[in-house]
Amino acid sequence: MALKDHDSLLAGDVSTGEELPELRHEVSATSVILGALASRDWRPMHHDRDFAQQRNGTRDIFMNTPNQAAWLERYITDWAGPRARLGRYKFRMGDSICPGDTIVFTGRVEDVAPDDTGCHWATLNIELSANDQVKTRFSARVALPADDNDNPWARRGDDWRP
């Protein structure tokens, strides 16, 4: 299902087995470095190619973990809209992502169900690939509004159980 402007998906719009739209993007050195600095990760393998190649044995500088997570967050809310609120994610990283790689996000809805507080959760399985190889596997739990008057961002304390 596609969104317009500031619309958000409602829990009832989503069904188990639904595929999320694919997201493709060519990674640049600038975006890798921007992401590292925005997450206060000053380690040289994320901005110094010589260091990355000689000390880490990688092809180039590579995307840091928080930046991969920031891509994940974007991927989920591009699909679900701004009222969707990420509650939790797990991940397992494989190989590095370097400038020049075209990253591809794909995902699938594994489950949609309310919890005891009435918060509706979608469980997603997401893969981040580059060069025809899965680099990172994520699972994520995102709260979706039940209706037009519901806003998961308003939940606090015991009403928020990610």
Partner 1 sequence: MPKKSSTATRWYSLEFFIELLKPVSAADDFTIGLDQALSWLDQERHAVTGEFDVERGYFFTTCASVQNGNPIYWDDAAIADITGGPTAPLTMLSAWFRPHYWMPGRETIPLPWETHFELKDTLALPEAVATDSEVAFGAPIRPGDRVSCVETLRSLSEVKTTKLGRGRFWVIDCVCRNQDGEWVGTETMTAFGYRKG
The C-alpha angle with vertex 68 and arms to 66 and 70, in degrees rounded to 5, equals 70
Q: Please check whether residue 75 is in contact with residue 23, taking contact to mean a CB–CB distance below 8 angstroms.
A: yes
Rounded Cα gap, residues 79 and 140, in angstroms: 13
Residue (87 or 107) nearer to partner 1, CB: 87
* Count of residues in the chain: 162
Which of the residues 67 through 126 are near partner 1 (CB under 8 A)?
A: 67, 69-74, 77-78, 82-83, 85-93
The C-alpha angle with vertex 74 and arms to 160 and 100, in degrees rounded to 5, equals 150
Contacts with partner 1 by CB under 8 A: the residue count is 39
Which of the residues 25 through 64 are near partner 1 (CB under 8 A)?
A: 25, 31, 34-35, 37-42
Determine if 160 is a binding residue for partner 1 (CB under 8 A).
Answer: yes
Q: Which residue stretch of 9-17, 52-60, 109-117, 153-161 sits at the interface with partner 1 (rule: CB under 8 A)?
A: 153-161
Residue (109 or 140) nearer to partner 1, CB: 140
Rounded Cα gap, residues 63 and 117, in angstroms: 37
**What tokens does 65 get?**
């973990």
Residues in the site for partner 1, rule: CB under 8 A? 6, 25, 31, 34-35, 37-42, 65-67, 69-74, 77-78, 82-83, 85-93, 151, 153-154, 156, 160, 162
